[in-house]
Chains A and B, each alone.
Chain A
Amino acid sequence: METGRTLVVLVRDNPGVLTRVAGLFRRRNYNIESLVVGHSETPGVSRMTVVVAGGAPEVDQVAKQLRKLIEVLEVRDVSEGSPLLREMALIRVAADGAQRTEVTELAKLFGAKVIDVSHGSITLEMTGSEMKVDSLVRLVSKFRVIEMVRSGRIAMARDTQERDNTVALSA
């Protein structure tokens, strides 16, 4: 189970909209665990995934305050109903010789890709639930992690309209 509640926030793709959203969190003292912004399916509309610490009542208040921002078009709490949650990580591990094989093996087990190799290091690309990313990070940290970047959570609710098309493969 992932921590925090997940809000999907659709915003107008205007300059300064991220400042407004971030400013709201700061001003109201809401605790955000992660915030990811990118394009949505609609031109001119950006999609944010915000992970907020707190229970449903607190998050309900966050959602209401967000809706008051003029450039916020829609706010959905997608925490319920086993939403599709993903995170991506790039992890560069110090490894050579035998270690390289060991890291590659781990990567394979996790379905992570090797995207860069040098004499002293190997870089993995991992996509999955945060828990899964956490596990991989834990396992490779017996080697030296030189550099790491994690994207933060992105989310999408399951399509309840056409259940048949949804193959619940992942967790």
Chain B
Amino acid sequence: MTIAIDKPTTIPAVTQAAPEVKRLTGSRIMCEALKNEGVEIMWGYPGGAIMPFYDALPEYDMHHVLVRHEQAGAHAADGYARATGKVGVCIGTSGPGATNLVTGLATAYMDSAPVVALTGQVARAFIGHDSFQETDIVGITLPVTKHSFLVNSAAELGDVMHEAFHIARSGRPGPVLVDVPKDVMLEEADYTSAVRPEQPPHGGQGDYDRAGALIDRARKPLILAGHGVILAEAYDELRSFAERTGIPVIATLLGLSCIPESHPLYLGWPGMHGPAHINRAIDEADLIVAVGMRFDDRITGKLETWAPNARFVHIDIDPAEINKNVKVDVGIVADAKDGLASLAASSSPADHTEWIETIRSRARPEGPPGDAQGITPYDVLGAIKHGTGGEARLVTDVGQHQMWAARFYGYDKRNSHITSGGLGTMGFALPAAMGVKAAFPGEPVWAVAGDGGIQMNIQELATLAQEGLEIKIAVLNNGYLGMVRQWQQFFHNRNYSETRITGPDYEKLCPAYGLQGRTVTRKEDVQAAVDWAMSTPGSVILDFRIAQEANVYPMIPSGGSVATMIEESEVVG
């Protein structure tokens, strides 16, 4: 068997009348390229090997945010990229500056966010000599970047910069690292702008026809919409396709807010902590149309028992995702926007009201039991929704609060839910929210985190203060690393080993950073606290004290199936 070559063909640079050639130092080539790529803002931290870049930067009209830790810079660039679809840029020096970026790059890689990281490297003559602050950052980041470059001369620097942006945003987006030795930044070379336009692939017509036939025959179909819908801005196409075919929509964690949750065809989200009736619907479905999602194990659990009755149509821009985890009946390599439009054209109008009603009839009311004492996560998310009129963009961290925020908020606004899904990076919310806020300065941005995760990048409070950024931070504080504690409760006989955690008094910590904070302990004060945060200028932390043993229900244990789901009623005391 010969496998056809389906590499995207290289698109030549836009041919304009005689591109201008400039003689510049490497550091200015970096700045010119950033400028030509449309970069307006970047997050970074200077240091020895990257100093020539910082020397040139003030000559250019681009905003640089000085973060307090390079990891936060990478998350901020990632947050900006997810919010805008544009490439986010972060910068670090050689050695520790570069290694600090790694977690942020891995986060962006797992969730397909377009990020370009620029790192300084020791001068070429010092490479390989274990020089001061030398590290092989290209080697370190190989498995967590889409591509990486070590630039050997100023002459190739301009092309490498533009190539990096092209790779980051084309096809399935991802992070790209450009490592530039200090002396390359000082060397002069000719530079010509070479910004490249993108061209999404398009699946063959035969595939759409076969998919359309499956869709027309299905009696219990479901759409599983993932991050790809948001990345391709295929909101209208998803909605049109669903409305035309009458197929109800399930969004993955990263797909949340790809369709308004109030839409009559929207059902909820699946997987380990999805509502039981959603997972049961998947169990019964006879067709799953999966768009821009990758059948992650947190969705499928045990693959052999997942969606046992379903046939599959899978649209993804990454050919490697087709048949990677789930063997599909029709795989289409396309951008979600293009793919959904073509799929709609190939399928007939239908009505699945009965199927949808069957699914909905099994739903239980969302929220905590009526006798819940004290502040519940449901109260907090509801108050944020109410206090912001649903206009907020929520950036969540990782853990229990992330699941609650995904379940209890009700995302009606496009791309209003941003979280670290694939890598599950604690410490993501606060710095990523800085990037989201930079993208939408006029909109309310909330970082929602646990009392564990917020402490992982708490140093960025200083960045918020220095930048005068307005981010509202809700800490769901249960005094535990809650998700791990929940697993200990369920699977380790309540052996709460090293999950009890203390933190600062946020109400006192905030003033030390020039911000304001409040501790909220009573249910009746929750809404007032959110309203106060909204009316208070600048960044604010609300420290909500919630129940210590609050759990996320239901839960399908790792590697399990609907049959092994744990429901709240089964866990008493």
Do A19 and B3 touch (CB < 8 A)?
no
Given A75-B5, A157-B2, 18 more A-B residue pairs with CB atoms under 8 Å apart are A19-B139, A20-B142, A23-B142, A23-B143, A57-B323, A61-B320, A63-B3, A67-B7, A67-B319, A68-B318, A70-B147, A73-B7, A74-B5, A76-B2, A77-B1, A77-B3, A78-B2, A79-B1
Q: A77-B2, A80-B1 are in contact. Are A65 and B320 (CB under 8 A)?
A: yes
Q: How far is the CA of A66 from the CA of B511 in the complex (A)?
A: 52
Q: Which of chain A's residues have a CB closer than 8 A to the CB of B327?
A: 57
Residues of chain A within 8 A (CB-CB) of B324 are 61, 64
- Interface residues, chain B, with chain A CB atoms under 8 Å away: 1-3, 5-7, 138-139, 142-143, 146-147, 150, 167, 318-320, 322-324, 327
Given the complex, which residues of A lie within 8 Å of B6, measured CB to CB? 67
A63 to B327, CA, bound (A): 16
Minimum Cβ distance to chain B for residue A37 (Å): 17
Query: Which A-chain residue is minimally distant from B320 (CB atoms)?
Result: A64
Query: Quick check: B3 and A60 within 8 Å, CB to CB?
Result: yes
Q: Max chain A CB contacts within 10 Å: which of B143, B167, B320?
A: B320
Which one, B3, B139, B143, B320, contacts A68 given CB within 8 A?
A: B320
Q: A8-33: contact bitstring with B at CB < 8 Å (1 yes, 0 no)? A: 00000000100110010001000000
Give the 6 A-B CB pairs with smallest separation, nearest first: A64-B320, A70-B147, A80-B1, A27-B143, A23-B142, A64-B319
CB distance from A151 to the nearest CB of B (A): 24
A43 to chain B, nearest CB (A): 18
From residue 94 to 115 of chain A, which have CB atoms closer than 8 A to chain B? none
Q: Is A171 an interface residue (CB 8 A)?
A: no
**Which residue on A lies nearest to B174, using beta carbons?**
A68
Which of A23, A68, A73, A75 has its CB near the most chain B CB atoms (within 10 A)?
A68
The verdict on A146 contacting chain B, using a C-beta distance below 8 Å, is: no
B142's partner among A19, A75, A76, A157 (CB-CB below 8 A) is: A19
CB distance from A11 to the nearest CB of B (A): 12
Indicate if A148 sits at the interface (CB-CB under 8 A).
no
A139 at the interface (CB under 8 A from B): no
Question: A64 to B7, alpha carbons, bound, how many Å?
Answer: 10
Residues of chain A from 74 to 91 with CB closer than 8 A to chain B in the complex: 74-80
A95 to chain B, nearest CB (A): 44
* A56 at the binding interface (Cβ < 8 Å): yes
Q: Could you name 29 residue pairs across A and B whose Cβ atoms are closer than 8 Å?
A: A16-B138, A16-B150, A20-B142, A23-B143, A27-B143, A56-B1, A57-B327, A60-B3, A61-B320, A63-B3, A64-B319, A64-B324, A65-B320, A67-B6, A67-B319, A67-B320, A68-B146, A69-B147, A70-B147, A73-B7, A74-B5, A75-B5, A76-B2, A76-B3, A77-B1, A78-B2, A79-B1, A80-B1, A157-B2
Residues of A within 8 A of B320 (CB): 61, 64-65, 67-68
A73 neighbours in B (Cβ, 8 Å): 7
What is the distance, in angstroms, from A116's C-beta to the closest C-beta of chain B? Answer: 36
Q: Who on chain A is nearest to B167 by CB? A: A70
A110 to B5, CA, bound (A): 38
Task: Tell me the complex Cα distance, A60–B147, Å.
Answer: 22
Q: Which chain B residues lie closer than 8 Å to A69 at the CB level?
A: 147
Nearest B residue to A65 via CB reads B320
- For residue A67, which residues in chain B have a CB less than 8 angstroms away from its CB? 6-7, 319-320
Question: How many whole Å from A36's CB to the nearest CB in chain B?
Answer: 19
**Chain B contacts for A57, CB-based, 8 A:** 323, 327
